């Protein structure tokens, strides 16, 4: 069952927004999803309107060898569950200084759990928590806004992921990039989008997340843009991205050698054709959006 880290060494690139909407999209389409807040600043927890929990009911529980993942006290939200951050994370990090302290989450999850997908939201700073995330993951998603600093951060994150793959976690897949907060009116955005696509090719999701006021709103009790306005561009963009991720994370046996393609086959594009008359639908809108729209 895939574990996916959401990482970029630069802040403000949409990591937490991507974690929430990916968790919601997969959750609403029937997968059992856990989102884990591994940012000591706890923005995922705060954005979802969840109170700071005691340490034993926070993501720090994954660093306690006596806690089994099945016994984790998680917060149920709209379509997914959250393991929130504790304010004690910074203090806890000071004690996690041995080389083996990067293995805690991996070892905890290996005890077994009942989730179809676990998303690990990380801080911009490279902490012991982010390293734990990469070591425990099957895949890493790098949200990148097509601007200078986020692109530099994304490339540093890519290098870190490759290092972790080489030294600590050989089963970590090649990182995937997701373009976020894309504004077609900005010339720089077109330039950096082109650069990322040229450089990383098929490892950049075809779907892009455009700037959208509805995505910037805080969520209450885990209510996301899918609950508020399924027709909004934020809902469509994240549904498309989740559709693509679905093919990476849960490849069908028909995909050659288990390697998923980043584009759907023609039959899967039918829903997009249905929507193509909509002027706001500038990109593919596939099965995940259709599923969510029916709920």
Ligand X SMILES: Nc1ncnc2c1ncn2[C@@H]1O[C@H](COP(=O)(O)OP(=O)(O)O)[C@@H](O)[C@H]1O
Binding mask 27-46 for Mg ion (x = CB under 5 A): ----------------x---
In the complex with ligand X, which residue's Cβ is closer, 2 or 11? Answer: 11
Please give the Cα distance from 130 to 122 (Å, whole number): 6
Q: Does 16 bind ligand X (CB under 6 A)?
A: yes
In the complex with ligand X, which residue's Cβ is closer, 6 or 33? Answer: 6
Q: Find the shortest distance in angstroms from Cβ 217 to ligand X.
A: 7
Q: Does 233 bind ligand X (CB under 6 A)?
A: no
Do residues 233 and 278 lie in contact, with contact meaning Cβ atoms separated by under 8 Å?
no
> Which listed option, Mg ion, ligand X, none, makes contact with residue 59 (CB within 5 to 8 Å by class)?
none
DSSP notation for 108-142: HHHT----SEEEEEE-SS--HHHHHHHHH-SEEEE
Q: Find the shortest distance in angstroms from Cβ 121 to Mg ion.
A: 6
Q: Does 16 bind Mg ion (CB under 5 A)?
A: yes
Q: Does 14 bind ligand X (CB under 6 A)?
A: yes
Do residues 3 and 83 lie in contact, with contact meaning Cβ atoms separated by under 8 Å?
no
Number of residues near ligand X (by CB under 6 A)? 15
For the CA atoms of the chain, what is the radius of gyration?
18
Look at strands 81-83 and 75-76 and give their pairing: antiparallel
Q: Does 13 bind Mg ion (CB under 5 A)?
A: no
Q: Does 127 bind ligand X (CB under 6 A)?
A: no
Q: Find the shortest distance in angstroms from Cβ 39 to Mg ion.
A: 5
Using the structure block, give the residue that is written with the tokens 């989730």. Answer: 115
Q: Does 129 bind Mg ion (CB under 5 A)?
A: no
Strands (E), the chain: 3-6, 33-38, 75-76, 81-83, 117-122, 139-144, 176-182, 204-210
Contact with ligand X (CB under 6 A) among 7, 9, 15, 62: 15
**Near ligand X in 153-212, by CB under 6 A:** 180-181, 209, 211-212
Burial of 131 (0-12, 13-18, 19+ CB in 10 A): buried
Binding mask 36-55 for ligand X (x = CB under 6 A): -------x------------
What count of residues does the chain have?
A: 295
Distance between terminal CA atoms of the chain? 25
In the complex with ligand X, which residue's Cβ is closer, 9 or 108? Answer: 9
Write out the residues near Mg ion by the rule CB under 5 A: 15-16, 43
Write out the residues near ligand X by the rule CB under 6 A: 11-17, 43, 180-181, 209, 211-212, 215-216
């Amino acid at each position: 069952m895939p574990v996916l880290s959401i990482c970029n060494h630069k802040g403000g690139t949409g990591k937490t927004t991507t974690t929430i909407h990916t968790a919601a999209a997969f959750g609403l389409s029937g997968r059992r999803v856990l989102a884990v807040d591994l940012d000591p600043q706890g923005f995922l927890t705060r954005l979802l309107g969840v109170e700071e929990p005691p340490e034993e009911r926070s993501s720090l529980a994954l660093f306690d060898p006596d806690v089994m993942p099945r016994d984790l006290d998680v917060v149920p939200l709209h379509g997914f569950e959250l393991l929130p951050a504790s304010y004690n994370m910074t203090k806890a990090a000071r004690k996690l200084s041995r080389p083996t302290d990067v293995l805690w989450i991996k070892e905890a999850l290996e005890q077994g759990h009942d989730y179809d997908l676990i998303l690990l939201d990380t801080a911009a700073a490279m902490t012991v928590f982010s390293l734990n995330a990469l070591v425990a993951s099957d895949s890493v998603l790098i949200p990148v806004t097509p601007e200078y600093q986020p692109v530099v951060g994304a490339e540093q994150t890519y290098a870190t992921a490759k290092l972790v793959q080489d030294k600590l976690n050989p089963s970590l897949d090649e990182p995937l990039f997701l373009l976020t907060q894309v504004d077609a009116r900005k010339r720089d955005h077109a330039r950096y989008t082109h650069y990322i696509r040229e450089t990383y090719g098929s490892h950049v999701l075809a779907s892009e997340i455009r700037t959208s006021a509805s995505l910037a709103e805080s969520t209450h009790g885990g209510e996301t843009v899918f609950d508020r306005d399924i027709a909004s561009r934020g809902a469509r963009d994240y549904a498309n991205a989740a559709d693509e991720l679905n093919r990476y994370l849960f490849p069908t046996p028909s995909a050659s050698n288990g390697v998923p393609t980043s584009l759907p086959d023609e039959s899967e594009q039918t829903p997009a054709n249905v929507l193509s008359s909509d002027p706001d639908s500038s990109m593919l809108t596939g099965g995940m959006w259709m599923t969510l729209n029916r709920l």
